[in-house]
Structure 1
Amino acid sequence: MFIVALKGLAARKLRLLLTAVSIALGVSFVTGTFVLGDTMTATFDKLYADMGQGTDVTVRARPAFTDAPTMGSPRPMPVDLVDRVREVPGVAAAEGGITGYALMLDKSGKPIQPGGAPTLGVSHAEDEKLGGSISLRAGRAPAGPNEVAIDAATARKHGYAPGDRIRIVFESGKPADFALVGVIGFGDADNLAGATLAAFDLTTAQQVLGRPGQVDQIAVRATDGIGPDELRTRIAAVLPADLEAVTRATVAGEASRAVREGLSFFTTAFLGFAAVSLLVGGFLIWNTFSILVAQRGREHALLRAIGARRRQLLAAVLTEAVAVGLLASALGLGLGLLVSGGLRGLLAAVGIEVPTTTLQLESRTVVAALAVGLGVTLVAALVPAWRATRVPPIAALREAATPAHTLPKVRIVLGGALLAAGLPALSWAIAGPSRGGAAMLGSLATFVGFLLLAPALVRPLVAVLGAPIARLGMAGELARQNAGRTPRRTASTAAALTIGLTLVVAMTVVATSMKASVADVLVRANRADLILKADSQMAPGIPAAAADKLRVLPEVGVVSPMRFGRIQVAGQTNSVAAVDPGTAEQVADIGVASGSLSALADGEFMATVDEAKAHGWQAGDQVTLRFPHTGDHTLRLAGTYTDTTLLGAGYLITIPTYEENFSERLDVAVLVTAAGGIPADALKRSVQQALADYPNVAVQDTAEFNAAQGATVDQLLGLVNALLGLAVLIALLGVVNTLALSVLERTRELGLLRAVGMTRRQVRACIRWEAVLVAAIGSVLGTVLGLLIGMAAARALAGEGITVLQVPIAQPLVYAVVGAAAGILAAITPARKAAKVDVLRAVVAE
């Protein structure tokens, strides 16, 4: 039986290779993700370990909590603490350092903003040993108030070299000009995970970064014979309680872990897309083996008649599946190395640059590729293999296999029950906001129910969708009959395309609703005429001095800045916004439920109604809030509000309270209204002229702001759809495979049609229209399911800011038409093969 299985594989090499490729594409996504993740881990581990060389202990402020970003520089400490550390026995050298916000401009005056990576200003270590792997690639170290060195990646991309002049924007105000005297590298890397870096001498860094007489951390090197742990203990003994000393290994581990955690979202997302692709590939495997088993029914019956046992038939079919799975795993492993490069390119497209290094192919990745490839293939082939064992020996006397046309009662009952439960759950989720549980369960039940009952829907859909095709002539009518002849096969082939289009359409509904919600917020909650934000969506903010410049303009009525941070309340991390109570109500409506926003004082806070209710707070209660820089502080609850769509935070404090507890001074947004009688265009021109020295500030009216937010959503949707395109590609491979097998199954039929006068062109047209019908069925089902699931998902995300449900019409229709038209491409090869059927050989084929 093993030999029989091998001969079966040899007789169907092309079909099984095409089947293996579908799984290999999904496996490649899994392996590519693992390879990229392992490569990033190894790269950053080495990078941060090398950077820490020469520094045995680091002194820094003790963070109040570490499970959320502090959105800025660490809490500073007095510079005279450096001398105290130097006096500790066992210290060979100690040097203070500082880090802050510094935005470089390119030679045309435009901001150099690397997407999600930070734009850093730092002090350059005078002691080269304390600098670790940070080294000068060209020029010299900065010395003096007008000199700077920049990272090698920025210098290369924007054409900077020692001797040039460069402009840099800081938190404190407008750009300043510096002489570029050096280019910095980080071992083999040109930058730190895509961040830009401007390095100054310590005194200059303290001035431009707004930390005169202060440092953020102290790097310490031990004398010979003193270990890092011992030195850490000695230094910790002389430090205040709010400071700590940590070893080089701790710092390197934290830095590398922070980068990995920051990139973990992308890893999870890539694995999610891989899972979708594998699911679609599983449908293709199942369909292919089901058709092969049906076509070989007589062969299996003959084997049973000459003594083969059911267990042997099962082993033979599963042997073929194992061979396909192994081939898919090998192909997927090889393709995964290429895919990792493509995924790295996607990260670079959003501003996250991974330093180049040797690709890391871990044993876990090889095991994962084999497990996924073999596992999916075997699971998908198990039911067809079991069916092969049920073929009775008497079937050897039949002329051809008779495929089943009726659905099992269990499948009908289960599919009906799932739809009966899923559709009401979806309807309830769509009817009300924030019903995530109902949306998730309803989507899953409805989706599975549709897939189970899809064969029952095939013939009605073929009758409707095939009516226009049938009017095209005999080829169209035959295509319609062929598509409806085996509804289970047609449904399972279309199901792969259904999955891909369901996700694409659902994402489109969510994205469209997100854009509509932004527009609704601007109409409902925003009272400003202009919105000032950083020119890059991922930038941390704009200098606070920009708002100060606008307050003196005669065309400006109100200037109200907003800031943003993270705090902990009762152990839970939450967002906090900071506003100017005197102006906030004039530019925004946050739905105050109790208290008064204009009366909010320093040392007080407001919370959403839901937060106050969850903690059992009443107005006037004293509540302990934990800030990342300053730790626990007790503030008075002054009131509650209901609308977080504009603030995006569950807590609200004043800007002075914010400045007491956060070190950064960047405004996330500044809302501006016009003075009485000033036209909107005059206000915008005046503001733009006043901020000419702030090229990183985007000045937008509400229409422009809405368009910018929509463009960002569209960019994200395009990226997601591009990744989901792999699942659609696999689905089209399924159409190709099924049609190719169908042509082989109908060799005699096609030969007879050719014998009675059907032309090659008509044969090709028949196969093409059949492919279009199959693709159209998948497109229709995917569009309907995608609209339902997308509406439920959008409503479930009401708490995340999607307050308006808007269902697009044009885009899903375009997707459906394109999906159906793609059937023509999928039919090219099978149609050519069908047209080349030899008439004389076909009429005697079994």
Structure 2
Amino acid sequence: MRTIAHLALRELRRSWIRNLFAALAVGIGIATIIASDLISRAITEEIAESAEGKAITAFMSEQLDVGLTAIGLVITVGAGFLIFNAFAMSTTQRREDFGRMRAVGMTHRQLLLMVLLEAILTGALGIVFGLLAGVGLGRGLMFLVTTTSDVFNRFGEVSLSPDRLLFGATVGLATTIIAALLPAIRASRTPPVAAMRATSSSGRNLNQYRIAGGCAILLTAMWIFLIVDPPGLWILPPWSSYLTVALIALWLLCIGLSLPAIVGLSGVWLRRPLTAILRLPGRLAADNLRRARARVTFTLLTLIIGVAMIIGVTGYLGYWFEELFFRNSERSLKENPGMGFFPLEIDAGLQAYEDVFDFTLTDNLIAEVEAAAEGHAAVVQGYFVLAPELSFLGEHYFSFIIDPHSMQQSGELFFTFTYGDWPHALEITDKDCGLFLTPTVAQKNNAWLYDTIPIQTPLGSLDCTIAGIGPTFVGASIISDAGLTAFNLTAPVTLSVFPHEGEGRDEILAEFAAIADRYTGVWFTDLSQVSKMQMEAMGTVRTMMSGLLFLAILSATLGVINTALISVSERRREYGVLRAAGATRRQVSAIVIVEGLLFGLIGAGVGIVVGTGVVVIHIVVSGGSVFGYPDFPVWEVALASIQPALTRGILALVVSPMLIALASWLPARAALRGTAIETLGRRETPL
């Protein structure tokens, strides 16, 4: 065992650059996972001191944690492709070494253990880096956000979670071992004689083109279906989710299966123009794309995943925040402007929650407001509760408790009927507990309009009837005021007032403002301003995710650079032959640089296509069904949502090829020092 460990350490030292890049890629994923936990817990650390505070803020912590952790996991999976490719290339490059080891008595098991030990040590290095960098990344992002955002301007002090540290370390180590397992098994099963033979090129594989052709037919049929009869116009949850997952899976599977053919065809199509422009370097760079197709494919996958994730997440967030969450509220507040009384200063962002332990309004304030509003304005008392059965996202998304009669008078801000109507709804809520839900929440409970579902409350189970289905304010479920007793609530968190149109509007608003001034710790704010602050908060979330998404590009770029380094190392003798045949250093360097540019362009380009397809499929299939919006303009929204994402994708398309080309040129420059004879005489230099 000691000898195996010694051999593994020797190989790590010999190829320290490639192993360092692999470890860094794993570490970036782990750092993102650690940072997501720090950020999400810091939001609510000093806020959720009461039931109301927990109801208001718990969902932000949960959704941020889910979103940022998902990004970290995807980055780690991308690192897995990097490790697989690096170890596959490394084991192929070391076939002669393995043959000698087998010839002198090393067993299959010992060889397998040696390669896996190399992977474990690489993963361990990545884990250490990730755990240390995760703290800095989390605190750095929080500092950046607090200095640039008017909403997320305060975070609580939190310590590292042992559970999250263990989770991150486990994910990183498991990814490394799984990624290196197949190359290790292949290396261990190679007999000594075969290991000493030179590897041969697989040549052209016609099956790849047949598979790509079949996939092209399938995808063409899918897009024709989505254009002719968009499911988002007629489908309902949960079938919208099922169909979305199925079509996205088909899209990703077909692109993945077609990638070798895409790489091969790119080499064919680019050969002539590159030859015309660059002559020998252009022709050889295009030809090299078709060599070792599996290696090139796995190399590109890391970059494709990173770019596709940037496009997908940016487009997805734009769709949800700009087209779904605030679609009704913006229009409703223009038609029926309202004001609100709050127990904290909404404009102050998270700083407003500091030293606030009571998030409710007093009975005296409520009485004064209702007396002043008599005949002049509609008053809506808003209560916040956590009801997991009614949670729109996850398990901690808040729900409202509102009197249906006052909600009706306030216009369509809180609820709009897609299924049902007010006469039937009020008939239900006047007798018992009623619910106003989005289609997503209704189907989550396997129920529909006028069905009864049980809700768990502090006082036990409460049976409530679905009185209406349609879009609600930011997707939150609404319980009628019959639920106040069951949730043990006595005072509202907000008072929303909607003055009637006509003379006296300015006077009643001035009277409301005067009432607020008489109470310490009460703020009177325009509801449209509240909506703007919420949209800014969503924008900040997008900014945080964008910062982590570019880490995915960094991780992916490390993968491509790693492959380029190994390629330069193992093709040193080939470069020597080119030099001996008359090629200059500049021409050989140009081959390497153009290859790097092609890798970056193809990887980023396919990533843009993949990410765009995922977003468009999701929007066109789901449409407004999640919220219950009727006549949702699916294609118009899809095109609007994807435009900001494409801007970032184009940036990746420009930056990635240049980084990869530069990183490829540096080792090539070192490899080409000296005469052609000297280059021919060297073995592959470990990197």
Offset of 1:482 from its aligned partner? 2.5
**Aligned twin of 1:834:** 668
**Aligned-pair CA distance for 1:283:** 0.6
Distance 2:597 2:467 in 1: 57
1:720 paired residue number? 545
Q: Which amino acid aligns with 2:380?
A: P
> CA offset at residue 732 of structure 1?
0.8
Identity %: 20
Q: Secondary structure at the match of 2:681?
A: coil
Match of 2:649 in 1: 816
Query: Which has the larger displacement, 774-783 or 419-428?
Result: 419-428
Number of the residue aligned with 2:180: 381
- The CA deviation at 1:450 is 3.1
Deviation at 1:277, TM superposition (A): 2.1
Among candidates 586, 596, 611, match of residue 771 of structure 1:
596
Task: Report how many residues are paired.
Answer: 623
Distance 1:383 1:569, change over 3 A: closer
**What CA distance in whole angstroms lies between the structure 2 residues aligned with 1:456 and 1:811?**
30
| 1:385 to partner: Cα distance | 2.1
Alpha-carbon spacing, 1:535–1:656, altered in 2? closer, same or farther (3 Å): farther
Q: Could you tell me how far apart the structure 2 residues matched to 1:302 and 1:660 are?
A: 74
CA gap of 1:722–1:477, structure 2 versus 1, over 3 A, is same
The answer to whether the 8 A contact 1:607-1:640 is kept is yes
| Equivalent in the alignment of 1:437 | 242
Q: Is structure 2 residue 288 aligned with structure 1 residue 482?
A: yes
Alignment equivalent of 2:324, drawn from 517, 523, 531: 517
5+ residue gaps in structure 1?
Answer: 41-114, 118-192, 198-215, 217-250
What SS does the aligned partner of 2:416 have? Answer: coil
What is the CA distance between 1:517 and its match in structure 2? 2.9
Q: Does 1:23 align with 2:22?
A: no
Higher relative contact order (CA 8 A, sep 6+): 2
Aligned partner of 2:468 in structure 1 is 641
> Is the Cα–Cα contact under 8 Å of residues 194 and 352 in structure 1 kept in the other structure?
no
Distance 1:604 1:661, change over 3 A: farther
Offset, 1:737:
0.7
After superposition, the C-alpha distances for 1:85-130 in whole angstroms (9 at most, x for unaligned) are xxxxxxxxxxxxxxxxxxxxxxxxxxxxxx966xxxxxxxxxxxxx
Q: Is the Cα contact below 8 Å between 1:462 and 1:484 reproduced in 2?
A: yes
1:531 and 1:462 map into 2 onto residues whose CA distance is 61
**Aligned partner of 1:777: which letter?**
I
Superposition deviation, residue 430 in structure 1: 5.7
Q: After superposition, give the CA deviation of every residue in 1:625-657 in whole Å (9 maximum; x if it has no partner).
A: 8765x878899x7x9333233484544536997
In the alignment, is the contact (CA less than 8 A) between 2:561 and 2:660 conserved in 1? Answer: yes
TM-score w.r.t. the length of structure 1 is 0.60
Q: Is the 8 A contact 1:27 1:369 kept in 2?
A: yes
Answer whether contact 2:9 2:118 (CA < 8 A) is retained: yes
Change (3 A) 1:523 1:673: farther
Deviation at 1:778, TM superposition (A): 2.3
Q: Find out whether 1:9 has 2:16 as its counterpart.
A: no
Query: 2:289 is aligned with what amino acid?
Result: A
Q: Deviations over 1:767-802 (max 9, x none)?
A: 333223222222233222223332444454846538
**Offset, 1:288:** 0.7
One of 502, 515, 520 as aligned partner of 2:308: 502
Describe the superposition over 1:635-688 as per-residue Cα deviations: whole angstroms up to 9, x where unpaired.
Answer: 9x7x93332334845445369979996322333644455427x9xxxx789958
Q: Deviations over 1:715-756 (max 9, x none)?
A: 222212222322221111111111111111222333444556
Rounded Cα–Cα distance in structure 1 between residues aligned with 2:544 and 2:468: 36
Distance 1:553 1:367 in 2: 56
For the residues of structure 2 that align with 1:35 and 1:747, how far apart are their CA atoms? 46
Q: Could you say if the C-alpha distance between residues 259 and 489 of structure 1 is closer, same or farther in structure 2, counting changes exceeding 3 Å? A: same
Give secondary structure in 2 for the equivalent of 1:353. coil
Q: Deviations over 1:786-820 (max 9, x none)?
A: 23332444454846538454223433432332222
Residue 274 (structure 1) aligned to one of 61, 72, 78? 72
Q: Matched residues in 2 for 1:698 and 1:569: separation?
A: 30
SS at 2:420's partner residue? strand
In the TM superposition, what is the alpha-carbon distance from 1:831 to its structure 2 partner? Answer: 0.6
**Change over 3 Å in CA distance of 1:29–1:397 after alignment to 2:** closer
For residues 38-63 of structure 1, the C-alpha deviation after alignment (integer angstroms, 9 at most, x for no partner) is xx8xxxxxxxxxxxxxxxxxxxxxxx
Mark the CA change 1:689 to 1:506 in structure 2 (over 3 Å): closer, same or farther.
farther
Q: 1:492 to 1:688 in 2, by over 3 A?
A: farther
1:825 aligns with 2:632: no
Q: 2:46 aligns with which of 194, 209, 227?
A: 194
SS at match of 1:593: coil
Is the 8 Å Cα contact of residues 325 and 374 (structure 1) preserved in structure 2? yes
- Give, as a single letter, the amino acid of the residue that structure 1 aligns with 2:181: L
2:575 is the alignment partner of 1:747: no
CA contact (8 A) 2:47 2:54 kept: no
Alpha-carbon distance, 1:287 to partner: 0.8
Structure 1 430/559 Cα, relative in aligned 2: closer, same or farther at 3 Å? closer
* CA displacement, residues 244-284 of structure 1 (integer Å, 9 cap, x when unaligned): xxxxxxx9xxx999999985655555543332221111111
Partner Cα distance (1:303, 1:632) in 2: 69
In the alignment, structure 1 residue 318 sits paired with structure 2 residue 144: no
Deviation at 1:833, TM superposition (A): 2.1
Cα distance in structure 2, aligned partners of 1:844 and 1:429: 64
The amino acid across from 2:177 in the alignment is L
- The 3 A distance-change label for structure 1 pair 689 and 820 is farther
Helix, strand or coil: the match of 2:335?
A: coil
Q: Say whether the 8 Å CA contact 1:411–1:452 is kept in structure 2.
A: no
Inter-partner Cα distance in structure 2 for 1:270 and 1:461: 35
| Structure with the bigger percentage of strand | 1
**Alignment pair present for 1:581 and 2:387:** no
SS at match of 1:843: helix
2:471 is paired with a residue whose SS is coil
Note if contact 1:509-1:790 (Cα within 8 Å) is conserved in structure 2. Answer: yes
CA contact (8 A) 1:283 1:496 kept: yes
The answer for the alignment partner of 1:286 in structure 2 is 84
Selected match of 1:786 from 604, 611, 622 = 611
Deviations 1:520-565 (A, max 9, x none): 42577667342435446778798995997799799x9754535244
1:470 and 1:477 in contact (8 A); partners too:
yes
Q: 1:194 is matched by which residue type in structure 2?
A: E
- Match of 1:563, SS state, is strand
Is residue 561–residue 579 contact of structure 1 (8 Å, CA) maintained in 2? yes
Instruction: Quote the Cα distance in structure 2 between the aligned partners of 1:374 and 1:306.
Output: 31
1:801 paired residue among 604, 619, 627? 627
Residue 493 of structure 1 and its aligned partner are, at CA, apart by 1.1
CA distance in 2, matches of 1:31, 1:650: 32
Aligned residues of 1:313 and 1:388 also touching (Cα < 8 A): yes
Whether 1:563 aligns to 2:382 is yes
Which whole-Å deviations, capped at 9, do the CAs of 1:391-436 have from their partners, x for residues lacking one?
56555775x5334456697999799799969996996876734322
State TM-score, norm by structure 2. 0.72
Whichever structure has more helix as a proportion of its residues is: 2
Contact 2:384 2:400 in 1 (8 A): yes
Is the CA contact 1:483–1:490 (under 8 Å) kept in the aligned structure 2? Answer: yes
- Checking the alignment, whether the CA contact within 8 Å between 1:470 and 1:476 is kept in structure 2 is yes
| Structure 2, gaps ≥5 residues long | 341-345, 353-358
Distance between the aligned counterparts of 2:491 and 2:213, measured in 1?
A: 57
Question: Does the 8 Å CA contact 1:736/1:829 hold for their aligned counterparts?
Answer: yes
Residues 376 and 792 (structure 1), Cα distance of their counterparts in 2 relative to 1, 3 Å cut: same
Superposition pairs of residues 269-668 of structure 1, within 5 angstroms: 269-304=67-102, 309-339=107-137, 341-342=139-140, 350=152, 353-355=155-157, 371-389=170-188, 391=190, 393=192, 401-405=199-203, 432-434=235-237, 435-444=240-249, 446-462=251-267, 472-474=277-279, 475-514=281-320, 515-518=322-325, 520-522=327-329, 528-532=335-339, 534-535=346-347, 558-561=377-380, 563-566=382-385, 575-579=399-403, 581=405, 584-585=408-409, 587-588=411-412, 590-591=416-417, 593-596=420-423, 606-608=434-436, 640-646=467-473, 648-651=475-478, 653=480, 662-667=489-494
Q: For residues 479 and 55 of structure 2, what CA distance do their matches in structure 1 show?
A: 31
Of 705, 725, 732, which residue of structure 1 is paired with 2:557?
732
Specify the SS of the correspondent of 2:490: coil
